[in-house]
Amino acid sequence: MGKKEDRQLIGLRMRASEIKRRRHELDERYGRIDGICPICGKLIRKPKRGPTARFCSRSCRQTYAQRKQDAIDFKKNKSAELALDQLTKQGGDYRKRADGKRESTLNAHKEIKNVRKASRFSCMFQLKTILECKPELIEQATANGYVANLMRAIDQHGTQGDAERMLRHLGYTGPIPTGDK
């Protein structure tokens, strides 16, 4: 309120509400109300010089700054939570895919083991059949011949010496073909 208007009110016994009403009337008459505080909603008076203040008081300015910082922090936290959720979901997807690959690898290893086992039994059955039908083929076997290859396959899919042990168990007493001939 200017000095001239204050002089009009000096010496009058007026209530605070009356003074406030008269100031408001003067402000409207001279166009000095220039804005409203965005925090508390009070009217902001235009000063004689300089720009109109954005807030009615220091506490409103601080409240605004705190709310603005809280909004920035909320956005940061929200984006961090979204990123964490997305990474967690991707991690779960990767884990599921890795478990699927591991399971398929284990199944493939089981299949390979079963095929080797079947191949070993097949080779052992062929060697047994040769022993029962034509044992001279075992005695006359060459180093890279069919019988020597059968015996190597039996030993390869089992343990070393399985073919010889099987022949001896079945009663074969002749020479065992080796890779020397």
Q: Can you give the pLDDT at residue 181? A: 41
Identify the CA nearest to 157 among candidates 114, 93, 127. Answer: 114
Q: Can you give the pLDDT at residue 10? A: 57
Q: With contact defined as beta carbons under 8 Å apart, do 159 and 116 qualify?
A: no
The rounded average pLDDT for each run of 10 residues, N- to C-terminus, in the chain (181 residues) is 54 70 71 75 77 86 91 89 90 91 94 91 92 89 88 89 90 77 41
Residue 102 vs residues 42, 107, 121: alpha-carbon distances, Å: 68, 9, 29
Strand partners, 26: none
Q: With contact defined as beta carbons under 8 Å apart, do 85 and 93 qualify?
A: no
35 φ/ψ angles, rounded to the nearest 5 degrees: -170, 180
